[in-house]
Structure 1
């Protein structure tokens, strides 16, 4: 939702009128950016699993393919499109967004990292598309679930299409008119971010003391490692700030030893800039924030896509990956070593200086404006 809000803001700055559909709990993010929004039905998050707790049996098909969910999504989106009459619909991994747009005769685009074409997108094609057909969506529209344009919020060097091996994903990509790597889409342009000293001043943090910022994502999937880390933060030789994510209440971590804990922050980029080390699950946004802001990171990935994201920091010499099996024994020694590595800090700053001057949101918005304008001209010609 933060990424979507940033894209919306960039489109407004480019001269567009924007309406954002989002789950009700996230509408405050749009309001904070001055964006008009309306509520959309969304699936509830997975509940936190206790450390060692076995995951539930895998369902026969992904939750996104539930017919009642798809029916409601299509109805809500199509009603909004008819009322707002947009020139283009842009979806951030919402499986019905481009379908609703096509049913209403509007061009559409998706924003998604290429890692999602390994998982879960093949399941979207195998489960969601047949269900859409059963709900009466014409086959040619149901199969073009990505719409007309795919925006990858990264550089091709780190998010290459060559890594997509799934036959289902490859078939879906062939239906597109265009695929564009636009660069990272962060909450704000990295080159507009304040200095480390200014960030600490705004956050009320000591100007010189070491600071570690810990965030393992917005879902509850990182609850197990988060529980382990939370109990160890008191041993870290630095001020520690722990963000649990909106789906893990801080009270679920009664044994935490962090100096500061919160469920959610609007200031993730500010904390990342202020920190000497970011501990992350290797999510795309948190990894790119650390790289673009010049802050070393320690990644604790939970699945292959996060491992791939974290590998970028490793390849650039600005961070390390700690395997899940090593977290309990190696977390404190690793954090301590990284905090004392001046070469690491220097390399991270150098990388940040190189990466900070490309704003993916502005580039994406510029292309949307051009694509939507041309599509509108074509529709007028046909009329």
Structure 2
């Protein structure tokens, strides 16, 4: 998923710049991005069926387990004679966690979302603990089949080393995080020029970006509400709508441009507000550029982010069941003019600038070697 690969690419660039050889296990969809960052792609099969990610995170966990188990044979073959010195694995990359334990090499957890805190499993997944998650028993059996104690799955909850791609202030219940050594590095933005460029058609008109990320884009009714909400505003609106046909959104006013995908960093560099699903990646990218947020979360993890956005005065939380053209318009006008929100965004932008980004992440990885 883009929200799990994109945050790591700047770190890959930094590690390569420092002279490290980086192999990156990905599906075919991310080969171009990984090569552009300087890593060697190591392909594993895409076990997905092309459907949207489930809103229920328990179901999503079971799917991630199946992806990991399907990837194990290809990754075992690929690294059989080229064993790494360290494994940097996503917080849901169970294949990387298993192989790192099997090879007895250091493992660093890369977390594009909140590190495990007291209460995360009930809040995210709606069950008391990890063993109650669908797919957990199958994952534990796979660890045992490979000669690794199932207890090592807990390394994702209590890792020895972890890189978090957001500032500590944004971490939910940071004082309860069990990771031993954490680098809260903020967004580690790398070169995204391969995505293309974008400039506003007029320098004197505020810019609004609308995007629900890469996983929850099949929301034509939401995009139609956005068109109605912003048609009469003196703003230029850029909408990223995935596979939704633009002609299904009704007549588009002159101030609205619609694309399947946009070069998000290039647009955010000029944006004055961002209507977002509140995924961590997009949230941090917006705050890096000092852009206030209207958070319209689509699932539990994003609702946690939306609550943090509102609590920290970085924007407003607009529950999707409350979305109307009027509510969207009011929220955008508020976040773009509210002094408290402006101050909150400025404070977070300063914290992000001081967090260290890719260089701080690479420092922790080198210490773990």
Same fold per superposition (TM over 0.5): yes
State the alpha-carbon separation in 1 of the partners of residues 140 and 312 from structure 2.
Answer: 45
Q: Is the 8 A contact 2:69 2:95 kept in 1?
A: no
The 5-angstrom pairing of residues 236-255 of structure 1 reads: 236-244=233-241, 248-251=242-245, 254-255=248-249
Q: 1:140 aligns with which of 149, 152, 157?
A: 149
Unaligned runs of 5+ in 2: none
Match of 2:184 in 1: 182
Q: Is the 8 A contact 2:226 2:328 kept in 1?
A: no
The 5-angstrom pairing of residues 1-383 of structure 1 reads: 1-44=5-48, 47=51, 62-66=62-66, 69-92=67-90, 93-112=92-111, 113-114=113-114, 117-118=120-121, 119-120=124-125, 122-123=129-130, 126-135=133-142, 136-138=145-147, 140=149, 143-144=152-153, 146=156, 148-161=160-173, 178-188=180-190, 203-220=199-216, 223=219, 226-232=222-228, 233-244=230-241, 248-251=242-245, 254-255=248-249, 257=252, 259-265=256-262, 267-328=263-324, 329-341=326-338, 344-345=341-342, 348-349=345-346, 351-372=348-369
State the alpha-carbon separation in 2 of the partners of residues 356 and 238 from structure 1.
Answer: 28
Task: Decide whether aligned partners of structure 1 residues 61 and 86 sit closer, same or farther in structure 2, where only a CA change above 3 A counts.
Answer: closer
Q: Is the 8 A contact 1:62 1:127 kept in 2?
A: yes
Counterpart of 1:370 in 2: which secondary structure?
A: helix
Q: Is the 8 A contact 1:237 1:336 kept in 2?
A: no
Counterpart of 2:294 in 1: which secondary structure?
A: strand
State the alpha-carbon separation in 2 of the partners of residues 276 and 263 from structure 1.
Answer: 21
Q: What's the Cα RMSD here?
A: 3.5
Q: Is the 8 A contact 1:295 1:348 kept in 2?
A: yes
TM-score, length basis structure 1: 0.76
Counterpart of 1:91 in 2: which secondary structure?
A: strand
Q: Is the 8 A contact 1:279 1:299 kept in 2?
A: yes
Task: Decide whether aligned partners of structure 1 residues 367 and 249 sit closer, same or farther in structure 2, where only a CA change above 3 A counts.
Answer: same
Counterpart of 1:114 in 2: which secondary structure?
A: coil
Match of 1:167 in 2: none
Q: Which moved more, 1:124-133 or 1:309-318?
A: 124-133
Q: Is the 8 A contact 1:129 1:143 kept in 2?
A: no
Q: Is the 8 A contact 1:20 1:35 kept in 2?
A: yes
Task: Decide whether aligned partners of structure 1 residues 59 and 108 sit closer, same or farther in structure 2, where only a CA change above 3 A counts.
Answer: closer
Once the two structures are TM-superposed, the CA of residue 55 in structure 1 deviates from its matched residue by 7.9
State the alpha-carbon separation in 2 of the partners of residues 277 and 334 from structure 1.
Answer: 10
State the alpha-carbon separation in 2 of the partners of residues 286 and 32 from structure 1.
Answer: 20
Unaligned runs of 5+ in 1: 165-169, 194-200, 373-383
State the alpha-carbon separation in 1 of the partners of residues 21 and 246 from structure 2.
Answer: 41
* Per-residue Cα deviation, 1:66-122 (whole angstroms, up to 9, x for no partner): 4xx444321122223224321101111212211012222322222122267433595
Q: Which moved more, 1:117-126 or 1:102-111?
A: 117-126
* Per-residue Cα deviation, 1:184-239 (whole angstroms, up to 9, x for no partner): 133249xxx9xxxxxxx962532121110111111026736643444424244311
Task: Decide whether aligned partners of structure 1 residues 48 and 9 sit closer, same or farther in structure 2, where only a CA change above 3 A counts.
Answer: same
Counterpart of 1:331 in 2: which secondary structure?
A: helix
Query: How many residues are paired up?
Result: 341
TM-score, length basis structure 2: 0.78
Counterpart of 2:261 in 1: which secondary structure?
A: coil
